[in-house]
Amino acid sequence: MSSFLPRPYSPPLSDSQDFLDAEEDPDPPPAIQPKEHKHERAEKGAQVKNIKDLQSQLDVHYKEGTKVSDDAYICIPMDAIPK
């Protein structure tokens, strides 16, 4: 027959005195600003008028198949696409 020996109590880290006594970060991170969604950025981006304009915008925003800037967007309204 085996005997049961309980483990000694160990408080959670949030209750430990070391955690509670820790100094605050002298340089706290900046306040998180709400991010603008990609579609909102696209609406504010360079608006194309036709397919030729779209091609020229793509040539500006992409070099060798890689987007030059993550902050640059192109707005393509439905009426710019031929039916």
pLDDT 10s digits, 57-66:
999 989 988 9
Residues 63-77: what's their mean pLDDT? 87
* Whether residue 40 has pLDDT greater than 70: yes
Residues 5-23: what's their mean pLDDT? 64
Task: Output the pTM of the full model.
Answer: 0.50
Query: CA-CA distances (angstroms) from residue 40 to 21, 24, 32, 43, 81?
Result: 44, 37, 19, 5, 20
Apex 64 CA angle, 81 and 47, nearest 5? 30
Structure tokens at 23: 């100094």
